[in-house]
Chain A
Amino acid sequence: MLKKLMKYDFVWIFKVLVYHTTILLVVAALGRLISPLAPRSMFWGITDGVFLSLTIAAACSLFFTAFMRSAARYINNTYKDESYLTHTLPVTRGQQYTSKVFSSVLVLLVSLVVCLIATAICNSYKNRWEMVKHYLSNPQYRTLILLFVLVVVLQIVCMLLCTLAGATFGYRKGSHKLLHSLLCILLIYVITQGIMVGVIFLISRFDSGVAMLFTTSTRSMMEFLTDPISTRICWILAAEYIVANVALFFLGKRALEKGVNVD
């Protein structure tokens, strides 16, 4: 049943994103075609800049829409008109919640892959590839870049899980459900991030490298990034986000399993 639920959730969330994906890839491809012309004149230079901006905007829009569609799917399906079908299906609430979370994460991952493909298209000429190869040939940079992407993905998933858990708590109230939901989302997010910063601070008490994050202010960002300690901090962050996301998932699932009050 979970697979069937996920199929319908994924299709609903991704339906609109097909247009965003197409626009992003087309804009990226056009940008790629125009880029070699940029040095010829100011006109082509400006056009190149416009297409680069459009590509970034389309990528942001894709992610934002994926996030909002995921949240909308959960709220519509769990508390609004469609909930009259959702809660009468022969599935457990745990399966419903798991389906929403997994399909949303899947959509976010697909969006990320599309963004990476768009980035690859934009930069698919020799000079850029040489630069990318240069960075990826350095093991430290390679690890750092991958970790950075992982942390960003985990952070987005964390925001999504805070939204779903917050909405679940908010909609349990008898009135002003949307307002309560927004407050719960904010509260859960702030508490999660606070705990994460607290854990890093605790680690810094025993690790002088990590302590630099709180004690040093004179180093430039570039210096910091080239320091091996930044990789260690990213590892810690990734581990923290994984633990936080698992905890948030079970928090939201448990809250939904306790019961609903549909509109």
Chain B
Amino acid sequence: MALLTINHLSKSFGEEAALTDVNLTIEPGRIIGLLGKNGAGKTTLLKLICDLLTPTDGEVLFEGAPIGVESKKEIAFLPERTYLDKSMTIQQTLRMFQDFYDNFDVNKAKKLLADLDLPEDRQISKLSKGMQEKLQLVLVMARKAKLYILDEPLGGVDPATRDYILDTILRSFDDGASLLISTHLIADIERILDDVIFLDRGKVLLTAQADDLRNETGLSVDDNFRRMFKC
């Protein structure tokens, strides 16, 4: 059974269509790049998958069932925004995640925090935006989920830290799990992708295996992207 199935998904904000008739299937154990220019509808699609938006039409199914309490236990989402309660300390946040997620591995989180030099007693409001993003990454990757969804995880991070973050992502998630990663910094993530989805103006332009795409065109995924979306 497919891990995630998206059927005829559309989303409009008033008159403006953000997504139009999107159909996708995500299998277990894959790393998928959701690629598109700014405003292509990547974040809208991820928000719909995570139940943060209500579809205008269509449906999202996780293991054959609509998104709900059970699927939320198995989907770990890293949004591009900082969403934590800033009045809490890192320690309190860890406890909160432990309270709500049975699959949250607090020891793994503590180890990742130590690697990233994030002191547990620090209040979140006293962390820089970059540090808050790292903390959120730790909280997401410390869960033993079936599907990890990362929205622009490298957006606000300096190039020196990007490789470390990518390695952390790769080291942290299990083989059976899938990773859906949205970004426009394709060159940075190309090496880890199994599949790619090109999104433009709310429509899926292309879904392919990364290797097949490279073999067919003789170009890297990044070059394919640049050619397809040339202004």
Interface residues of A (CB under 8 A from B): 1, 4, 8, 12, 15, 81-85, 87-92, 174-175, 258-262
What's the minimum C-beta distance from A246 to chain B, rounded to whole angstroms? 25
Residue on A nearest B79 in the bound complex, by CB: A84
B contact patch SS? loop
Pick from B94-102, B170-178, B205-213 the stretch touching chain A: B94-102
Q: Which of A8, A88, A258 contacts B54 (CB 8 A)?
A: A258
Chain B, 4-25, contact with A by CB distance < 8 Å: what is the 0/1 string?
0000000011100000000000
What's the minimum C-beta distance from A141 to chain B, rounded to whole angstroms? 44
11 A-B Cβ contacts within 8 A? A8-B96, A12-B87, A82-B83, A88-B50, A88-B51, A91-B100, A92-B69, A174-B12, A258-B54, A261-B53, A262-B52
**Residues in B whose Cβ lies below 8 Å from that of A12:** 85, 87
**A84 in contact with B81 (CB, 8 Å):** yes
A8 to B101, CA, bound (A): 15
A85 to B93, CA, bound (A): 11
**A90 in contact with B72 (CB, 8 Å):** yes
**Residues in A whose Cβ lies below 8 Å from that of B198:** none
**B54 in contact with A260 (CB, 8 Å):** yes
**Residues in B whose Cβ lies below 8 Å from that of A8:** 85, 96
Q: Nearest 8 pairs between A and B by C-beta?
A: A259-B54, A84-B83, A174-B14, A90-B72, A84-B79, A90-B73, A174-B13, A85-B83
**Residues in A whose Cβ lies below 8 Å from that of B51:** 87-88
A1-B87 contact, Cβ under 8 Å, with A81-B81, A90-B73, A260-B53: no
Interface residues of B (CB under 8 A from A): 12-14, 47, 50-54, 68-70, 72-73, 75, 77, 79, 81-85, 87, 96, 99-101
Q: Which of A90, A91, A175, A260 contacts B13 (CB 8 A)?
A: A175
Residue on B nearest A259 in the bound complex, by CB: B54
Residue on B nearest A1 in the bound complex, by CB: B100
Residue on A nearest B75 in the bound complex, by CB: A88
A258 to B79, CA, bound (A): 23
Residue on B nearest A93 in the bound complex, by CB: B51
Residue on A nearest B99 in the bound complex, by CB: A4
Beyond known contacts A83-B83, A84-B50: 16 more, CB 8 A cutoff: A82-B83, A82-B85, A84-B77, A85-B84, A87-B51, A88-B77, A89-B72, A91-B69, A91-B100, A92-B68, A92-B69, A174-B13, A259-B53, A259-B54, A261-B54, A262-B47
**A175 in contact with B14 (CB, 8 Å):** yes
**B14 in contact with A89 (CB, 8 Å):** no
